[in-house]
Each structure stands twice: as structure tokens, then as C-alpha cells.
Amino acid sequence: MTRKEDLHVVKTTTKVGEALEMLVEKRVTGLPVVDDDWNLVGVVSDYDLLALDSISGAGQADTNLFPDVDSTWKTFNEVQKLLSKTNGKVVGDVMTPTPLSIREDTNLEDAARLLLQTKYRRLPVVDGDGKLVGIITRGNVVRAALQIKRTIENIQ
């Protein structure tokens, strides 16, 4: 689990462009959204930001996010259109509110099962008051499983 002090978070008032930059810079695919008291209020992911196309009301005829491979200039223009839709938008406009989360006393097996069942990439971890204390990702689960496997092999 990534603990609170090492988390990258945003607020509902964070500009979408800033959230996009943070996702790229920190090499993560999603960010917890918290209020001033660290209450978990949402999650914003790369998917949410890509969905700006549908939020903006643009139809399929207006833009095609995945143009033909041979159309480099068209691709550039489509990306520019998508990025222009972030102007004035804040994370609160595009986030997933009240996301599925787990309590800090949830065991690893249950967390792994939830990640597999939901196909989510991450689960925020909250305390009894709903305050964000960390986040567990698929990568965390894989690393923990590998560590357990190595420990068992060393004992035998």
C-alpha cells in the first residue's frame, strides 16, 4: 500500500490540465480526490480524463479519438481538440464520486479479490472516519504476492 505521506492527490477544484500533468509526471493512472480534511470524495483516472470527449457533448461525427494510423496531422489535431476541452474544467467535473474503497484493516486477500472482481487498478484505503490513509494498487498486490512466495521458498 502506498501510504498517505507518499500519495499524490487532487481536490475537486484542481484544474483538469493540472491533474493530467500530474498523471503523466508521476506515472500513475489515477489519483484520489480529497477535501481539505482528507476525506475521500472521489477518484479521477486517465479514463475519466479521456471521457471528456463525451462530457463535452461532442458526438462521433465531431471527433474521432483514434484516427487512422497514417494520419499524423489528423492525430495531432484530435489530441489538440481533446486537450482544449480541459480548459475551465476541474476534477470535480470529471471524477468518479464516492468510489469503492477499502478500510485500513482489510486483509490483502480481500483487497486482491476486489481488484480482480471489479477490474479496478486501484482502491483507496480509508480509516473508520472515511479519511484517506493510502491506496492499494494491482502492482502492490503483485509485489506482496511475490514477496510471500520468496519468503516461503527461503523457509523450505
114-126 pLDDT per residue, tens? 999 998 999 999 9
Q: Does the pLDDT value for residue 53 go beyond 60?
A: no
pLDDT greater than 80 at residue 71: no
The CA distance from 140 to 7, in Å, is: 14
Cell numbers at residue 20, please?
Answer: 493530467
Question: Mean pLDDT over residues 92-107, rounded?
Answer: 93
What is the CA angle 122-123-125, rounded to 5?
Answer: 140
Residue identified by cell 527461503 is 154
pLDDT score of 106 more than 90: yes
Confidence at residue 72, expressed as pLDDT on a 0 to 100 scale = 61
Q: At what angle do helices 138-155 and 108-118 cross, to 10 degrees?
A: 140
3-40 pLDDT tens trace: 999 999 999 999 988 998 899 899 998 999 999 999 99
Task: Say yes or no to pLDDT of 76 above 70.
Answer: no
pLDDT at 17: 84
User: What domains does the chain contain, in order, with CATH numbers?
Assistant: 2-154 (3.10.580.10)
